[in-house]
Amino acid sequence: MSKIPFTKLAASPEQLLAKWTSQGLTLSEAETPQALAYLRYVGAYRLKGYWFHLVDPTTKRFPAGYTFARIAERCEFDRELRAATIEAIDRLEVAVRCVMGNYLSLKHSPHWFLNPAIFKPTREWGIGQLIRKIEDEVRRADGKRFVSHYFSRHDEPYLPPSWSVSECVSFGLWSRTYAILRDPNDKKAICKRFDVDQTEVFQSWIHTLTVVRNVAAHHGQLLKVKQGVAPANYKAAGIRFSDQKAFFAAATVIHYLLDKTGLPHRWKEDLEQIFARHPGVDIADLGFPKNWPTNPGWA
C-alpha cells in the first residue's frame, strides 16, 4: 500500500461542532456551551473514541436523534471507571509485592533479588535487568527517609532489603519477576496466598493487572476497547471468560483477588454505582453480562 502525505488541517472547537451537527448530531442551543467546553478541555480526538463506531461508515452520519449528551455521558462513564480501576488495582499492587517480598525474604534472605540461583531468566527479563531496575528506582528514591536511613548505616549489601526496595519499584517489576522464579514451589506458595493454585493462571492475572493499570493511569479508554492482554480462565473456581480481552475479564480478576486478601474494598459496589449513574451506557460494551454480579468470581 502506497503512503501519502498527511494534509489534514486542525479545526477549532466551533468548526468541529458544526461539522458534527451537519453529520446529524443532535445539539440544542442550551447544550452548546458545555459541548464546546468538552471540545476545548477534553478534546475532539479523545471524544471521537466514544462515538466513531456509531456513525455510518459510508455517509459518516450519526444515528437519528443521537445527542452530544450521550457522547458526554460515555466520556464521564469511562473517566469514573478509570478512577475506580486505579484505586482497586492500587490495593492489589501493594498486596502482591507484600506477599512476594515477605515470602522470598523469609525463604531466601531479605536480599533475595541479588541471588541469581532463585531465578530462571528469559530473553525478555533476566537478573541483570531486574537488578538494574532496582538500582535505578532506589537511586531515584534516595531522598526518601527509609532509603537514606539504610545507606547511612550500611554499605553491604549495596542495596536496601526487600521490604525497602518494595516501596520503590513498579508493579511491572513484580509481575516479570514472578514469571522467572525458578522453583515452582516458590510460585505456588505465592499464588496460594490469593487462593489460586495454578501458577500459570496467577502469572497471567498479575500481568493483566499491570497492563490494565497502565492503561487507566495514562488516561486510556476502557469503554468498548479490547484490552491488550487476556487473563487465563481459572476453571477450578468456575471462572471462564467468553471474551478474555473484554474489560469484564480483567474486572473479574480484580474482584476475585481483592476478595481473597480479606481487606476492605468497594470494587463491586463502585461498579454498580457507576453503572447506575450512567444508564445510557450499555455495560455490554465492557463485556459485562446482565447477570454479572452473580457470576463466578463475583458472588
Closest C-alpha to 40, from 76, 16, 6, 19 = 16
User: Is 161 in contact with 138 (CB distance < 8 Å)?
Assistant: no
User: What average pLDDT score do residues 182-192 get?
Assistant: 98
Every domain of the chain and the residues it spans? 13-66, 77-294
Give me the pLDDT at residue 299, please. Answer: 86
Give the tens place of pLDDT for each residue, 195-247. Answer: 999 999 999 999 999 999 999 999 999 999 999 999 999 999 999 999 999 99
Closest C-alpha to 150, from 115, 110, 118, 177 = 110
Task: Name the pLDDT band for 98 (thresholds 50, 70, 90).
Answer: very high
pLDDT at residue 27 greater than cutoff 90: yes
Give me the pLDDT at residue 82, please. Answer: 98
Written as one string, the DSSP assignment of 88-126 is HHHHHHHHHHHHHHHHHHHHT-TTGGG-GGGB---SSS-
User: Is 195 in contact with 253 (CB distance < 8 Å)?
Assistant: no
Give me the pLDDT at residue 212, please. Answer: 97
Give me 126's grid cell.
533476566
User: What average pLDDT score do residues 19-23 get?
Assistant: 97
Task: Name the pLDDT band for 1 (thresholds 50, 70, 90).
Answer: confident
Give me 184's grid cell.
515452582
Task: Name the pLDDT band for 54 (thresholds 50, 70, 90).
Answer: very high
CA distance 19 to 16: 5
Q: Among residues of the chain, what percentage have pLDDT more than 90?
A: 98
Q: Which residues pair with 234 in a beta bridge?
A: 239
Give the tens place of pLDDT for each residue, 115-152. Answer: 999 999 999 899 999 999 999 999 999 889 999 999 99
